[in-house]
Amino acid sequence: MANILLIDDDRDFSALAAAHFSRLGYTVTLSYDGKDGLAKACLIKPEVILLDIMMPGMNGIEVLRELQAADDAAEIPVVIISGKYVDQGMIDLFSQERNFRAFLGKPVALAALQQKVEALLKK
């Protein structure tokens, strides 16, 4: 099964999502901040990255842009997940990054998140 990198400072959500995907047979790597997540993305080269926006230090938008600039990580599809209000203008901004594939607001149903991941892996 595929490797998923989840970059999110919400440890409760991360644990819940990791348990869900692990039960399905995925390998899930967790990171709780942007800099560590970026390093892990380049090191393990996951098939999908689930990325929070609001994190201490390096936020999700910075991570998304750095991923795009990294040769090893530029093509990894990224699903942004955030509990903060995001309007269409923000989604349009994310869409300018070639590795951005979808946005899901928190709270997110794990079944919906699973559908997004599975759809990306089929491509």
Tens-place pLDDT, residues 43-91: 999 999 999 988 888 988 899 999 988 888 888 999 999 877 666 767 7
**66 phi and psi angles, rounded to 5 deg:** -65, -40
pTM here is 0.92
Domains and CATH numbers, the chain: 3-122 (3.40.50.2300)
What's the rounded Cα separation, in Å, for the pair 56 and 75? 25
Q: Taking Cα atoms as reference points, which of 76, 55, 77 lies closest to residue 7?
A: 55
Alpha-carbon 112 to chain mean position: 14
